[in-house]
Structure 1
């Protein structure tokens, strides 16, 4: 009887250890693009480049883009690739690109990569832009390209302009995405057009901020701070105080490293808006 009891106990223990070991080897199935919406696919003979973001389309201004690469034969997603891209706007007499980031692997995700593109303009029908993705997998180079639709944003969230220094600049609103009645973290991107294809980040300037509410006597708000350059992500940050819901104009002045104003003006009783401004409404 003792032997039978010992044998049963041993079998139960072995079964328990076996089950526990199997459970530890199970890898949870995760969806790397959960909560995102697909914008479109760009397909070549070997792969499908899947493009995602949070709204399901591209618009003028700042666009954060999530990318997956699917093998057309196996339907598996590529975990290790090196990518770059070229957004291109075709105009009647010329073509040009726009500010963009490098594409990097998303931290903590196995199959997705990300970067941003800032479309500074679009056609009325949304067409005119194309996107080429160049990528390398296991030492082999590939490319995929297609037209993309870029819709016009409802608000003035990016501006392209010439400064008093004769340089062409682009400013884009990046955050807040969900403005609140509070002091919001304001994040802007500032870029200079060196040529039709190159738009480097502008470092160490200052962007002066004066938010106004035109429908309410053009009043401002307290506790705003001008934007300064952040070396880590190469963006500009400041405090934006929003005291009520509605339509706001973010009046700006761009100031270079010599403390010279190269675009924008102070808002006064007779001059209600700077020539350099962005918009938001919430």
Structure 2
């Protein structure tokens, strides 16, 4: 009887706490979770009679995953031109002068329906006094190669559902996981999409700056990202949810799974990253114990979200 009473009291505590926290987070949703589905001009570069327009969601470069759309037009005729071999290379310069990059697509793909070149960049840091970003572009017209560069500003990502994580794996390699979708989850089973990338350690450079071989990343192939979502707030007891699905790689090279958010609020996506052979690259299991009144334990590899 005593154990039954304790069990009932625990359920009541969880129900009351969840209701209170849900109300608190509902007042935050409208301002904390922006949604952007329209591509707008983020920056423009002019080169020898050609205009290069780069579009992103909301016309802004954000820390994290950015889909890139690039258009090249004849500046005088204001019409699209036939170009080839369009490349995109972002480079960050630190305060000490050292240079690094981030996961990106170097050779952009042409999309004939929209008449633009498509790619992505996962900016690992926002612009600040200690870090500045510049993009290096090239394209070919009538067998002539044009190169151009442009400073840009990378802004903080205010939508925590699009957060990212950079880390060193147990294999000594540098990895990055970037959330891509959903922008604004629902209290339901949500399709979860992420990109997973690895830094390619360069050999001695034989080219001139910017040599893309010195700033190379690749999409990891055939990995598994195990998922365990929890609500880490002390009043939530670090409880999880049913029907979640681990992330597997799709034909688009991105990783797809399902996260079941049973209520609004703070959630932690706890991960364990496994390579093709099932070896743990990063991450630890989280205890299933219900821990009301205590901040929830997190995996060694996690990303916080909020909706």
Q: TM-score range by the shorter chain?
A: 0.7 to 0.9
Equivalenced residues, count = 247
What's the CA shift for 1:188?
1.2
Higher relative contact order (CA closer than 8 Å, sequence separation 6+): 2
SS at match of 1:181: coil
For 1:224, the equivalent position in structure 2 comes to 244
Larger radius of gyration: 1
SS of the residue 1:121 aligns to: coil
Could you tell me whether the CA contact under 8 Å between 2:93 and 2:131 is conserved in 1? no
CA separation in 2, counterparts of 1:124 and 1:135?
A: 29
1:121 paired to 2:125: yes
Q: TM-score, normalised by structure 2?
A: 0.75
Q: CA deviation at 1:171?
A: 0.9
Q: 1:39 touches 1:58 (CA, 8 Å); kept in 2? A: yes
* Partner in structure 2 of residue 17 of structure 1: none
Q: Which residue in the other structure is 1:150 paired with? A: 154
Structure 1 residue 126, shift from structure 2 partner: 9.1
1:175-214, aligned counterparts within 5 Å?
A: 175-195=181-201, 196-214=214-232
Q: Which runs of 5+ in 1 are unaligned?
A: 1-33
Asked if the contact 1:82–1:137 (Cα under 8 Å) also holds between the matched residues in 2, the reply is: no
Structure 2 gaps, min length 5:
1-36, 202-213
1:200 aligned counterpart, secondary structure = strand
Alpha-carbon contact 2:274-2:280 (below 8 Å) kept? yes
- Aligned partner of 1:103 in structure 2 is 108
Counterpart of 1:89? Answer: 92
Paired with 1:224 and 1:238, the residues of 2 have a C-alpha distance of: 8
5 Å-filtered alignment, 1:225-264, equals 225-230=245-250, 232-264=251-283
- Compute the TM-score of the two structures, normalised by the length of structure 1: 0.81
What RMSD in Å do the two structures reach over aligned CA positions? Answer: 2.1
> Are the aligned partners of 1:126 and 1:152 in contact in 2 as well (CA < 8 Å)?
no
Conserved 8 A contact 1:251-1:274: yes
In structure 2, the CA distance between the partners of 1:197 and 1:43, relative to structure 1 (3 Å rule), is same
Deviation at 1:262, TM superposition (A): 2.0
Deviations along 1:94-113, one digit per CA (max 9) or x if unpaired, are: 1112111231112422x322
1:69 aligns with 72
